[in-house]
Each structure stands twice: as C-alpha cells, then as structure tokens.
Chains A and B, each alone.
Chain A
C-alpha cells in the first residue's frame, strides 16, 4: 500500500542520513540514486516491475521507497539492526515494494527474464561490476535471441568491474541483439528519455562517477 507524501528528490539526502551503518557501500548506493528516483518518480506504473539486482548499498532504494510512501519513513531508522526490516541487502519478504531479495550478485537479471517472458514490462538494475558474474550473460544471451520486448536492463556504470569493459559494456549487449544507449546517470531527463524508448530487449548504461 502506498501512502502519499510531500517528499521529493531534494529530501533524499535527509532520508539517506537516517540510514547509517553500511558506509562501505555508500558509493554503490549513491550510484543508483538518480536512476531509481527517475524510475519511481516518472516511469513505473502499477503494472510494471522493477527488480534491484544490485542489492549492495540499498540505502538509496530504501530512501526512495520511503519518499514515495511505499515504505514508512520511520523504518529507515535502525537500518541493519536486529529488529529492522531493512538489511544491508533487501529482503522482499520484509520490505514493502521490494520485488526480489538481492545481495548475491547476478541473480536479478535471470529472474527478470522470467518475469518479462510473461509480457510484463520489467526493469532490472545491475552494476557494471556485477556483470562479471556469468549468470547475467546467460540471461543477456537468451533475452536477445528470444527478443523479449518487455525487458529493460539498466547498468549502473561506475567503472567498478575488476577488469573493466573495454569498448563499453553496452557492446556486449548489442552483440546479443539488445538495443543500447549510454546516458549520464545523473541527468534525469536523459534517463527518462532512455527509459521511455520502445523496443527491446533494451540496455541503458547509466554512467556515474566512480
């Protein structure tokens, strides 16, 4: 159930300030902030699914769920504590609005393929480092060959892959038949335009500073 709030993008820093204790993943969390905001603020409808595969550093995700009234703001306090529903990796059974439990990398994209095969518009967010996991490429290959129109993968590219992606990670998706676009991961309008493009499967690489 969603509760209307007056909270907007400018309130996110204050919400994030309430989530302490996972500072080692601050950069990971901050990297997703603008893409996830644009998704929840401008794109996602009640029939869409958003799967956060990159479960590391979910504070931005939690803050945005709270800002959108999906998660009670007070739940942000105590992040990671024994009695908190908010762990350092999201649990879909504990957190309202969370579609999949994530944390171990490389699981969200294969699940998203299954969701999208039913015809549902599906967005999955992965990291460029996460794409080192081979399980992602099983999904990328199959989604491309099966031409799954309803699937969009957003890659947060903060140059965290151990050996990088020479030529750009989108080249790997393109090779498998995906439509690709690279955008500034802080430019809300550019992110929105990319997310609204039709045809798929689609890969949007959102570049953010490392």
Chain B
C-alpha cells in the first residue's frame, strides 16, 4: 500500500499542476525530485505550515510522513494552519497503530484517528486494501478540503467496492451487527464465519455514515471493530442511534501504554483484534 502510494503521488505531481508533495525526510527517497516536491527535512511543524501556504496559493498539497510525526507532533498546526485557516490538504500517513511494532511506542500512533476526528471538517479514510487507497487518493486529489488517509501494512484479501457502510455478509437479524473498519475485515469475517452476525465494512470513518448504519441495522446489538484506539467512532454510533435502544461493544487498541516489540500480528493478537480475540469478545457480548 505504501509503495503504491509513492507511485501515485509521483504520477500526480507530473499529471496535475495543482498537486504538490510536502515531506519531512520520510518518503523523500521514494518520490523523485520535482519542482513541486518539497522535502523540508525533519521539520514536521514546518511541513504542515508549508502545506497550508501552498494551499493558500491554490495548490493541492499531499503531505506524508509516519503517523506520529504527521498527526501528533504537528497537531496544533493541523488545527490552526489548516483547520482554522480553512485550507485543504491530503495527509497520508504510514505506520498505523502498530506497523512499527518492533520500533516501540515512539513510532506507534493508535490515537491518530481520534485525534484527527477531534478537529472539524476532516474526511478520514482507513483503507483496508490498496485498491481502496487508490480510489480514496484520487477522490481526495479532486477536492479542496482536508483529508486524512491512513496507510497500513495490514490488508484484507479483497477490496470492498462502494463508499459508506457496506454490508458484506447478512446474518441473523437478532445477532450482533459487526462493523469492521478498514483492515480488520478479514479477521472479523473469520471470527464470525459460523456465528450468524451481520458484518458490515466501513473505510470512510469521517464523515460517519449514520444513515447507512440506521438503514442496515435490524437488531439492537452493534459491535465496532477498529484498528486503532478503541471507541474512536463510538460517539458517532451513539448519535446515529440516539432514538433506538441499542448496545455497543467497541473493540480496538486499548488506551494504555503497550511496551512490547515483536510483530504486527503479535500486537494485533495482544489487543484482541485477531479472529480468535474478536470471536471471544463476541461470545462474551452475546452472553451478557
């Protein structure tokens, strides 16, 4: 997914006079020199400020770095340089929650979606497959607003067509309705292969598809499976279902320091986001 993004960003530079790319060292070796490709060095606040300045001049900046250095370190610049000034940019992160599992906490950012979602006016894309990322990036480049695209090494076997909340497998009406976000889909499908839940897929998490949820939900129990901070979209679901009695179980990365290295698969399992963990959580939820 990451390498494909570099290809697409490079092509966009050469094919679209509006596009500029702003980097802070990371990715600079992958996107060749171009008059509108600016590597500002390891200066992440400047990276966002430069993007805002380019947007002020009518350009469509793509800004890319590792997740914590794109979202967390320059967070006030996202809020003010882009948001408060009402300037657009396409932020593309790489690393997600624990792709950098063996690099430790400094390179992990499971809070990113919650942090960006706390700022108004952002579209947040969580592709679960490279084909979805291609569609999301093309859509973002055609617009002028603020878009955050979250790249990851985790990927589903197949892309899901369509935008908004998409039912992938319809189960029993009274069984939990499971929303798999981005790259969690394959694990969710495996976990629910024989247990009767409806599985829906969601990759565009902001704006949240409240109408899609209301139309698709037939029972009362909702399970949200997110590849980042647990509950990042829980309030959106509560708001969407405010007039309907419901229960909600949120699965995701817990709000805790997790001082382990190893592989992404080990982190996924430790957070209960592999098929076994999801299956166990669903069983407990049904038993309540």
Contacts and interface: CB of A to CB of B under 8 A. Distances in A.
Interface in A24-66: 49
B48 to A, nearest CB: 7
Contact of B46 (A49, A91, A101, A110): A110
Nearest to A110: B49
A117 B46 CA distance: 13
Contact of A114 (B43, B49, B80): B49
B70 to A, nearest CB: 15
A113 B81 CA distance: 12
Given A110-B50, A111-B56, A117-B53, A138 B85 contact: no
A112 interface: yes
A142 interface: yes
Contacts of A113: 46, 49-50, 53
A110 B38 CA distance: 13
Q: By CB atoms of chain A within 10 A, which of B41, B56, B61, B80 has the most?
A: B56
B38 A138 contact: no
Interface string B57-77: 101010000000000000011
A111 B86 contact: no
B77 A135 contact: yes
A118 B59 contact: yes
Contacts of A95: none
Interface string A85-101: 00000011100000111
5 contacts: A49-B56, A101-B80, A101-B84, A113-B46, A115-B56
Given A106-B45, A109-B49, A115-B54, 17 more contacts: A92-B86, A101-B85, A107-B77, A110-B50, A110-B81, A111-B52, A111-B85, A112-B53, A114-B22, A114-B49, A114-B50, A114-B56, A114-B61, A115-B57, A117-B50, A139-B46, A142-B40
Interface of A: 49, 91-93, 99-101, 104, 106-107, 109-118, 120, 134-135, 138-139, 141-142, 145
